[in-house]
Structure formats: C-alpha cells, structure tokens
Chains A and B, each alone.
Chain A
Amino acid sequence: MIIDEKFSLKIGLAEMLKGGVIMDVTNPEQAKIAEDAGAVAVMALERIPADIRSDGGVARMSNPTMIREIMAVVSIPVMAKCRIGHFAEAQVLQALGVDFIDESEVLTPADDINHIWKHDFTVPFVCGCRDIGEALRRISEGAAMIRTKGEAGSGNIVEAVRHMRMVQSGIRQIQTMDHAELVRYGKEIGASLEIILEVRRLGKLPVPNFSAGGIATPADAALMRQLGAETNFVGSGIFKSQDPAARARAIVLATTHFDDPDMVAKASEGLKEAMPGLEMNRIPEAEQLNRRGW
C-alpha cells in the first residue's frame, strides 16, 4: 500500500488525536466546555445524534456559520460531518478550513451506492465501519482514520463493541492466513489483496482505529480502549447527560487511564445521570444508523 506525502500528513493528524476524546458539540459554548474538559478535538454539528433520531427527516451538513463560530472559539482541531457520498458538502467543509471531515452515517446518505473518493481532498477524512472489510474499503478510498459506527445517539455501547470486535477479529484472521487464502478472503470482504497484505504486515489497520457510537460513561470509554480503540468519539453521551462538563472530564480521564480500574472508578464517582439509553431491539431496523453505507 502506497502512502504518499499528502496521505501521510492526513494520517499524521489522526496520530496526534490518539489516546484522547473527540466530542460532539452544537454551539460555541459547548465547544468551550469540551476544550476545557481536555477534548483533543470537537465535532461541530447542528443536532447531536440523539436529537437527529428523535426529530426525524433528512439530516444534512451543518450550517457553515455555526461551524465557523465554533472554529473561532477553540484552538483544538474542529471536525464536521458530510453526508455519505456528498462530495460537494465535503468541498464546502474543506473550503471552510475544518481540520477533519467525517463522512458520516449519522446524516442521511446522499449516495446509496458510492462513498466519496477521499484522495481528491487535502483535508483528512474519518469514516465509520462495522467490520474489517468496510474499514479497508474506506481506507482504500482515502480515509485517514477509521472509527466504529456503533449506534449513534443510542447511549448503548453494544454496537460499538460488536464493530470493534469484528475489526479486531478480522485483523487476527488475516494474520493466520496464507497468500492463497488471503486472495479468497479479500474477495469475501471486498478489499484488495494489497491492503490486506499491509494489515498482515502491521498487525493492525494502516490508519488509526477509533471508536464511536454509544459511549455514555467513563467505563464505556475504558471498555472501548481495552478492545483496541485508540481514541473515543463521544456524541450524545456528554451533552445529553445531566452534568456535561464533569462527565466530559471524567471520560477524558478514563480514556487516558483505560487500563487502571482504580482511576476509572475515581473518574466515575459523583457523576449525575448519564443520558437515557435505547435497547437496540426498540430501534426499528430502518432507523438504525449503522446500517447506512456499505
């Protein structure tokens, strides 16, 4: 797999975000709270996933004015979401100067067949995945960071765990196969032999592997880190809780000290109610965001 100068700069920023927490924010005040709590980046969006879910309708790229206002108040990187396949929204976000674009299943897909060819852009992209095949397809298109899809806005960690385990077990399988089997496996999962060989060489994805979709507590954050997530995205989990600033600080601490249960316990103490969660079987299949994209 060839990583040219442009792609390595994109992956470089993803490297800087490792071991941190990226928080969804909908206005400059929330962005400040996130930065003050130790977030490594913020995701600027008009409605957090829990509200997108309850409001219904078509969810699109956020208003550029709102994104600019957030960029103006924080010094950490600012990310924003475009719809799957909507490369014109991505062009607008790049023109605004956002630091990372999330081609996200949380918004209503604009193209139900193709994702964006992300190598065309200077700005790096992050994309969601449910398994190793989806992760490798997105990286081939130019994603500089992969995250689990999880189930955004659900407050339920089960899908993020499933997706992270699927990715990790895919990586382990690749390492046990010989070349003949890898060719067949590539066909099965829809990924090129070239990128599969790179995964086998590295024993991990060729770009940072983050987690998203369902983190609501410090223990959720520690769980995803122990399963192999290098950084945690937290969406609705912070600003849908009853004490956003304290919860944000606690999740940052638990993400750093993910392998120290005493620290995670300390971080969790005294927090108010977490966001209300949804059982997956209460979300009709057609409304499950993680099923968008391929």
Chain B
Amino acid sequence: MLNIGILALQGDFEKHGAVIERLGHRPLFVRRAEELRGLVGLILPGGESTTFLHLIEKLQLRQPLIDFAGRWPVFGTCAGLIVLARSNDNLPFPPFGLIDLEVTRNAYGRQINSFIARVELKSQLMTRQIEAVFIRAPKIVSMGREVVPYAWLGEEVVMAGNNRILAATFHPELTSDTTIHQFFIDAYILPAISLSER
C-alpha cells in the first residue's frame, strides 16, 4: 500500500482520494508542508487555479511543493496541470513551470461548453480509449522536446509528462475508470520508489 498525497487546499481532492482508495492505496490530504513527509507521490486536483496559487503563496507551500517534486512524482489534473506548467494568461502568481507545457486556461469556453469525450491513450503501458470529462478545461498549446504526449483528443494532446511530472487537461477522477491513476502509479511512482531504494 502506497501513501499518495493529494493537495487539499480546494477543489475535488476527495474524488482523487476515492480513486486512490479503490486502487488499494492510502490517500493523504495535504494542507501543510509537513504533511508531505512520507509520501511517494502527490496529486494536484481539479479546482480553481487562481485559488490554488493564492493559497499556495499565502500558506508558504510553493517551495515545499517544488522541493517535493524534485524527489517524487506529481500528477496534476486541470487546475493542477496549470499550477505545474507555464501559462500565457494572467495568473496572480507564476505557476511552477515544472513541466515544459504552455497552457491556455478555459480554452474551450465557459461551463456551457464543458463536455465528455473519448480520448486516445497511447504509451508502452496502455493503448486504449477512455471517456474523459472536460470542465472549463485548459488546452496545451505548446510542449517542450523532453515532454512525452500520452493522450489525444483528436489532434490535441490532453495528457503529457516528463520524467517526474504527469499532467492532464481533463478529470480522470470524475469517472469510474481507474486507468489513468493506475498509469501514474505504474509509470511514475513505482520507478521512483525503486530508484530511491537503489
């Protein structure tokens, strides 16, 4: 059983927690820097990215989170992706830039333009289609060379990762399908653990 943290300042952190539990692991909600200790991975959930950045700054979590990401994998969904990436929009505080992705927020429009669609997953560990929920979702507009795309909506990349960071523009925590969380564990957390034990 792995101890996987979920940043619980705001947003749908409980939904992520339920998926982690369903996969047989222990979700731990993180609101303070000391709660990062003992975790082997962290999820930044969906929510409001401006609110996340405000609270991260106010609660002095920026450096502890960046330090954590230097040691263990971090997975961001929607607002969580925005915090981890780079943005061309006005944000109250700069996002972390831990993955070389440039994103545009609310790129599909407002809530009435939110949608559910099938996305194509392609990697060594999984090749299949899953249902994905996009809510006021951001778009990845450019990717650095070391970033690997993992999922597509038509031509658009909707999930991508580098060696430590995984990021999706949709909400795998809102469907009953656990594929994406399992992928985060198998392709990111488990290798990081074996590396740390070496």
Contacts and interface: CB of A to CB of B under 8 A. Distances in A.
Contact of A75 (B46, B105, B171): B105
Nearest to A37: B54
A288 interface: no
B114 to A, nearest CB: 5
Nearest to B131: A5
A19 B47 contact: yes
A40 B89 CA distance: 17
B100 to A, nearest CB: 23
B86 interface: no
Interface string A15-44: 111111000000000000001111111000
A20 B89 contact: no
B124 to A, nearest CB: 30
Interface in A36-70: 36-41
B102 interface: no
Interface in B1-21: 8-15
A164 to B, nearest CB: 18
A13 B136 contact: yes
B145 interface: no
A252 interface: yes
Contacts of B183: none
Interface stretch (A92-100, A104-112, A183-191): A92-100
A257 interface: yes
Most buried by A among B50, B105, B112: B112
A19 B10 contact: yes
A9 B89 CA distance: 25
A112 to B, nearest CB: 29
Interface in B22-39: 31
A249 interface: yes
Interface residues of B, number: 37
Given A16-B79, A19-B11, A40 B54 contact: no
A38 B174 CA distance: 24
Contact of A13 (B14, B111, B116): B111
Given A38-B54, A256-B55, A9 B114 contact: yes
Contacts of A16: 11-12, 46-48, 78-79, 135-136
B116 A5 contact: yes
A256 B7 CA distance: 11
Contact of B51 (A13, A38, A123): A38
Most buried by A among B47, B51, B54, B78: B51
6 contacts: A8-B174, A15-B174, A38-B55, A124-B111, A252-B51, A256-B9
B106 A75 contact: yes
Contacts of B79: 16
Interface string B42-61: 00001110110011001100
